[in-house]
Amino acid sequence: MKLISWNIDSINAAVEHKSARGEMTWSVLNNIAEATPDVFAIQETKLKATGLTKKQANAIAELFPDYHVFVNPSLARSGYSGTMVLSRQEPLSVDFPKIDAPGDMDMEGRVITLEFANFYVSTVYTPNSGSELARLDDRGLWDDQYRRYISSLDQKKPVIFSGDMNVAHEEIDLKNPKTNHHSAGFTDQEREKFTTLLGAGFTDTLRTLNPDVPSIYTWWAQISKTSKINNSGWRIDYYLVSNRIADKVTQSTVLDTGKRQDHAPIQLEIDLL
């Protein structure tokens, strides 16, 4: 079973591909389609509150024919956040859960969960703590509620979940840990919450397969023209699985996006089907 997850940073920018970066995004999306994943999870769709436009839906259908498409747009602020999942197999059920998160977070389309016969597949777009850590406290409450939600699924059947989790867990997971110690995504609180999530019964698949390998990143800042060239990045996108199926993971990797900065897709291969 092959799964791919990607913070695309705007479905519309990919579909329109009118800029150089849009062209690169469209190219990556086409490469993912050619890989024919069993499940493709997308974060930060930035769709309108009404979901996919006709043009966007047609473009996705042409790239991913015969896939079941599930969209969770932000209702709190149109064109913001949002998630989407494409599945070759029709799931038993689909949930767009509310996890009793603070503020508008539950209305920002941040989670989709697909139920299959023997496992769940879920994706998440974790809220960023924001400039000057303005949302750090709310982010901490989100982390607690999200952990409770994923743990509740895990009590029923194993879970595979992925997404932009907006945290670099350990110093090995970013290029410059010392200068970013108090930056959003690398505060002590965010890292401790991620440790607690793993401690609730889940495995970080990429790090388990590559325990001491440095310089594996999934995000490079667009604001810096040399971040990708110098591989000055962060690993903030993850595939996590329930501990009891961790031994079934055969591969967990970051897909190459060439010169494109921002997030790269991640891929998981697991022997479950």
**Cα distance between residue 26 and residue 22, in whole Å:** 6
Q: Which of 185, 192, 112 is nearest to 153 (CA)?
A: 112
So what's the pLDDT on residue 15?
97
**Cα distance between residue 160 and residue 123, in whole Å:** 9
Q: CA of 114: how far to CAs of 17, 90, 93, in Å?
A: 30, 9, 6
Q: Which of 38, 135, 36, 31 is nearest to 81 (CA)?
A: 135
Question: Is 66 considered catalytic here?
Answer: no
Number of domain units in the chain: 1
So what's the pLDDT on residue 131?
87
| Other CB atoms within 10 A of residue 273 CB | 11
Instruction: State phi, psi for 207 to the nearest 5 degrees.
Output: -70, -30
Euclidean distance between the first and the last CA atom of the chain, given in angstroms as a whole number: 6
Q: Identify the CATH number of the domain in which residue 144 sits.
A: 3.60.10.10
For residues 239 and 268, is the Cβ–Cβ distance under 8 A? Answer: yes
So what's the pLDDT on residue 235?
98
Question: Is 125 considered catalytic here?
Answer: yes
Q: Which of 80, 125, 146, 217 is catalytic?
A: 125
Domain interval for residue 62: 2-270
Segment holding 13, helix H or strand E: helix 11-16
Q: Which of 9, 106, 143, 164 is catalytic?
A: 164
Structure tokens at 26: 């469209």
Residue 93 CB partners (closer than 8 Å, separation 6+): 114, 115
State the 10-residue block means of pLDDT for the chain, 273 residues long.
98 96 97 98 98 98 98 97 98 98 97 98 97 95 98 98 98 97 97 98 98 98 94 98 98 97 98 84
So what's the pLDDT on residue 57?
98
240 Ramachandran zone, left/alpha/beta (phi>0; psi -120 to 50): beta
Instruction: State phi, psi for 110 to the nearest 5 degrees.
Output: -95, -10
DSSP state of 77: S
Kindly give the pairing relationship between strand 219-220 and strand 159-164. unpaired
So what's the pLDDT on residue 55?
98
Its pTM surpasses 0.95: yes
Q: Which of 163, 25, 26 is nearest to 84 (CA)?
A: 163
So what's the pLDDT on residue 209?
98
Look up tokens 């793993």; give the residue.
198
| Runs of H (alpha helix) within 118-187 | 136-154
